[in-house]
Amino acid sequence: DTAVSQTPKYLVTQMGNDKSIKCEQNLGHDTMYWYKQDSKKFLKIMFSYNNKELIINETVPNRFSPKSPDKAHLNLHINSLELGDSAVYFCASSQDGTNSGANVLTFGAGSRLTVL
Amino acid sequence: GQNIDQPTEMTATEGAIVQINCTYQTSGFNGLFWYQQHAGEAPTFLSYNVLDGLEEKGRFSSFLSRSKGYSYLLLKELQMKDSASYLCAVRDSDYQLIWGAGTKLIIKP
């Protein structure tokens, strides 16, 4: 059983298109995240979300929007794709959104987006 | 600004010991994490330090000195499967995770 699963694993699309990446976790975690890993391998937080609060990294363009139908799912929608959006997008989850203890992240396998 | 520094790449021999360093300058400190990421795969949690000292977990150990803004990950009895990138991340005063770019570790027979 995959703890955090995201689809698709690979996505190749044209500039200007709209696309979505889906994420599901079966760990019963309260908080989910979207990260972007660029070509330099830095992981950058895009969003974190639990039932109560959506936290948006202010540097993320508003073309990106998270949508959470329920606690186990956090999908990422991207409008008007640009070349610079090409990256690997990781979904992750953690037990809760509190800041105590380790609050370890469990990551999905990643979705590699290529914008042509 | 906030910054995490790690060497870009290191090479070690199977069976040997390697130490991967991480230095950080962040606005506050609420814990330091090490994650392992094999090529094309997801990062996986290795260790967490919030107090000074050494945390040992099998072949892997992680050390923290908060006064020096310094941590290291020590890998013993290296195996070929340890070839991966090792990511250092610090949780700042706003409890946001700041990530380093990772150290690519190459293990040679």
Asked if pLDDT for residue B72 goes beyond 70, the answer is yes
Contact status of B9 with chain A (Cβ, < 8 Å):
no
What whole-number distance in Å separates Cα of residue A50 and Cα of residue A72?
A: 10
What whole-number distance in Å separates Cα of residue A100 and Cα of residue A96?
A: 9
Q: Look up residue B3 and give its two tokens.
A: 């910054």
pLDDT of residue A100: 62
Residue scoring higher pLDDT (B74 or A43): B74
CA B6 to mean position of chain CA atoms:
8
Average pLDDT for B33-55: 95
pLDDT of residue A98: 60
- Residue of B42, B85, B89 lying closest to A41 (CB–CB): B85
Q: Which residue has the tokens 């070929």?
A: B80
CA distance A69 to chain B (A): 24
Contact status of A60 with chain B (Cβ, < 8 Å):
no
Q: Do B104 and B10 form a contact (C-beta atoms < 8 A)?
A: yes
pLDDT of residue A99: 62
What whole-number distance in Å separates Cα of residue A72 and Cα of residue A70?
A: 6
Q: Are residues B45 and A45, on separate chains, in Cβ contact within 8 Å?
A: no
Q: Is the peptide bond before B109 cis (omega within 30 degrees of 0)?
A: no
Q: Are residues A43 and B89, on separate chains, in Cβ contact within 8 Å?
A: yes
Q: Are residues A105 and B48, on separate chains, in Cβ contact within 8 Å?
A: no
**Residues on chain A touching B101 (C-beta within 8 angstroms):** 40-42
pLDDT of residue A58: 75
pLDDT band for A95, please (50, 70, 90 cuts).
confident
pLDDT of residue B91: 92
- How many other C-beta atoms can be found within 10 angstroms of the C-beta atom of residue A14? 8
Condensed to tens digits (0 to 9), the pLDDT of residues A55-79 reads 778 789 999 999 888 889 999 999 9
Contact status of B29 with chain A (Cβ, < 8 Å):
no
Asked if pLDDT for residue B1 goes beyond 80, the answer is no
Contact status of B14 with chain A (Cβ, < 8 Å):
no
